[in-house]
């Protein structure tokens, strides 16, 4: 097992390029189950989650090949076709549930293991299942698996309003299944995230008739079959926001390029209010200049176009050294605060009350051994470690590798003193 050793206090400087969005790539890869022929996906990040989903797709009968330019070719493999995604793979990655809609839509049946517990809190699938039932599927849970079947799916109106807003992967599952339904499906309270729009654009490229994505009402006309295409995944807005925060936390100055400014509006607005000097630098880049005075700045993580829950931990990390008191609320995942006890070990002053934390800025964090307990909590600890005095050693790296492509390599290219070390050292 490896650890990440970070020598804090080095301002990050230079240029870094953002990769493809994990949360767009995963549902689009899964949707390839619903597509005939060969698909080439460009800008697919090289991540553990992508490799795990590639394994799931391979077991379901697809052939998945990656080339050096982050292109993934996905085609029917000629091997045995299956509609069963088993627990061994699904438990490694919740996003495997994205195979449910494509399998059910195209083949009329799917058996997908329930993913089980999750570090960031309770994550039910009731909205996915309710929506598939509304389309005419019969669903039962047996031996830990979701078993879905349908002789014919029929277009209908599905309301995805849940207690904490809509559902991102639920919208993806329903959109893909609905392509195979007879007639029109209307998804009300659909998730508006750019990653959902990317899937809609991909499906349109494959021949689907989908409109309204990016708004709360998506309309899908039954339009199967779908045919393979050549498609480039959108840039990862969460990776971009993570680098922006890392640069600012170290007082460095860097150009972050290959991103979509329109996907980052709420984050950039918040950053300006928090005293981070960040400016657009061309159509697909920002320039971040740290070194100014950080300011305490409240925020609530909300569904898009709000500040994403996937950057809540990283923004909280930089607020640990912003003078004054900041209140941070996570309205999407009320228990997503695994970074808090670890940041406290580094000297942060944070009090938690339910889905909110109150951060009182301290002048400096100090490096120590910490444990990364989920993907974004790990990113927050990297940011804290880069800014802290002394050495921070982060344990449990597989979480980080699930969702960040070559994070340590990219940070080193900006001058960070970051190294993977063996846990035995």
Query: What does DSSP say about strands 253-257 and 285-289: parallel, antiparallel, or unpaired?
Result: antiparallel
Q: Active-site residue 118, yes or no? A: yes
Nearest CB to ligand EPU, comparing residues 259 and 375 = 375
> Edge-to-edge strands of the sheet including 369-371?
369-371, 391-395, 2-7, 417-422
d(C-alpha 399, C-alpha 259), whole Å: 23
Nearest CB to ligand EPU, comparing residues 49 and 408 = 49
Contact set with ligand EPU (CB under 6 A): 23, 26, 94-95, 122-128, 162-164, 167-170, 191, 195, 308-310, 332-333, 375-376, 403
CB 103 within 8 A of CB 59: no
Q: Residue 366 Cβ, how far from ligand EPU at the closest point, in Å?
A: 27
Q: Residue 187 Cβ, how far from ligand EPU at the closest point, in Å?
A: 13
Nearest CB to ligand EPU, comparing residues 264 and 294 = 264
Nearest CB to ligand EPU, comparing residues 115 and 155 = 115
SS3 letters for 313-360?
Answer: HHHHHHHCCCCCEEEEEECCCCCCCCHHHHHHHCCCEEEEECCEEEEE
Q: Residue 110 Cβ, how far from ligand EPU at the closest point, in Å?
A: 16
State the Cα torsion 269-304-386-423 to the nearest 10°: 180
Compute CA 424 distance to the chain's CA centroid, rounded to the nearest angstrom.
31
Task: Return the closest-CA partner of residue 62 out of 18, 23, 29.
Answer: 29
305-314 as b/e: b if 16+ CB within 10 A: ebbbbbbbbb
d(C-alpha 240, C-alpha 142), whole Å: 41
Nearest CB to ligand EPU, comparing residues 25 and 294 = 25
Which entry of 32, 98, 118, 297 is annotated as an active-site residue? 118
CB-based contacts of 122: which residues, under 8 Å, 6+ apart?
335
Element (H, E) at 293: none
Which residue, chain included where needed, has tokens 């990113």? 379
Q: Residue 184 Cβ, how far from ligand EPU at the closest point, in Å?
A: 23
Nearest CB to ligand EPU, comparing residues 69 and 262 = 262
d(C-alpha 142, C-alpha 264), whole Å: 41
Q: Residue 171 Cβ, how far from ligand EPU at the closest point, in Å?
A: 8
CA distances 132 to 151, 152, 306, 318, Å, are 13, 12, 27, 41
Q: Residue 125 Cβ, how far from ligand EPU at the closest point, in Å?
A: 5
Q: Residue 325 Cβ, how far from ligand EPU at the closest point, in Å?
A: 26
d(C-alpha 126, C-alpha 191), whole Å: 15
Nearest CB to ligand EPU, comparing residues 308 and 385 = 308
Could you give the residue numbers annotated as active site?
118
């Amino acid at each position: 097992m490896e650890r990440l050793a970070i020598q804090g206090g080095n301002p990050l400087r230079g240029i870094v390029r953002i990769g493809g969005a994990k949360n767009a790539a995963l549902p689009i890869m899964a949707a390839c189950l619903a597509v005939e022929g060969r698909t080439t996906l460009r800008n697919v990040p090289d991540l553990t989650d992508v490799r795990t989903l590639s394994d799931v797709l391979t077991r379901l009968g697809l052939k998945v090949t990656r080339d050096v330019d982050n292109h993934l070719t996905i085609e029917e493999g000629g091997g045995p076709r299956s509609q069963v995604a088993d627990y061994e793979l699904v438990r490694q990655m919740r996003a495997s549930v994205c195979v449910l809609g494509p399998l059910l839509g195209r083949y009329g049946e799917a058996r997908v293991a329930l993913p089980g517990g999750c570090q960031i809190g309770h994550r039910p699938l009731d909205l996915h299942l309710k929506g598939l039932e509304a389309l005419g599927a019969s669903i039962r849970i047996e031996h830990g698996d979701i078993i879905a079947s349908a002789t014919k799916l029929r277009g209908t109106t599905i309301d995805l309003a849940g207690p904490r807003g809509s559902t991102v992967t639920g919208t993806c599952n329903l959109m893909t299944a609905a392509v195979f339904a007879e007639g029109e499906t209307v998804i009300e309270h659909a998730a508006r995230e750019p990653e959902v729009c990317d899937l809609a654009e991909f499906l349109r490229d494959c021949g689907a008739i989908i409109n309204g994505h990016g708004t709360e009402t998506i309309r899908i006309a039954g339009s199967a079959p779908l045919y393979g295409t050549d498609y480039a995944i959108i840039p990862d807005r969460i990776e971009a926001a993570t680098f922006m925060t890392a640069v600012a936390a170290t007082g460095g100055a860097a150009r972050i390029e290959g991103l979509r400014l329109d996907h980052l509006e709420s984050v950039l607005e918040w950053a300006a209010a928090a005293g981070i000097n960040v400016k657009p630098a061309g159509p697909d880049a920002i320039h971040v200049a740290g070194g100014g005075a950080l300011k305490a700045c409240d925020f609530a993580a909300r569904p898009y176009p709000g500040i994403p829950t996937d950057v809540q931990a990283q923004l909280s990390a930089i607020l640990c050294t912003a003078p004054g008191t900041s209140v941070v609320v996570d309205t999407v995942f009320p228990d997503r605060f695994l970074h808090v006890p670890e940041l406290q070990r580094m000297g942060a002053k944070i009090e938690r009350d339910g889905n909110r934390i109150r951060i009182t800025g301290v002048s400096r964090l100090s490096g120590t051994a910490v444990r990364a307990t989920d993907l974004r909590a790990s990113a927050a600890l990297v940011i804290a470690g880069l800014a802290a005095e002394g050495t921070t050693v982060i344990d449990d790296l597989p979480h980080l590798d699930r969702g960040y492509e070559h994070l340590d390599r990219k940070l080193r290219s900006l001058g960070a003193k970051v190294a993977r070390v063996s846990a035995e050292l």
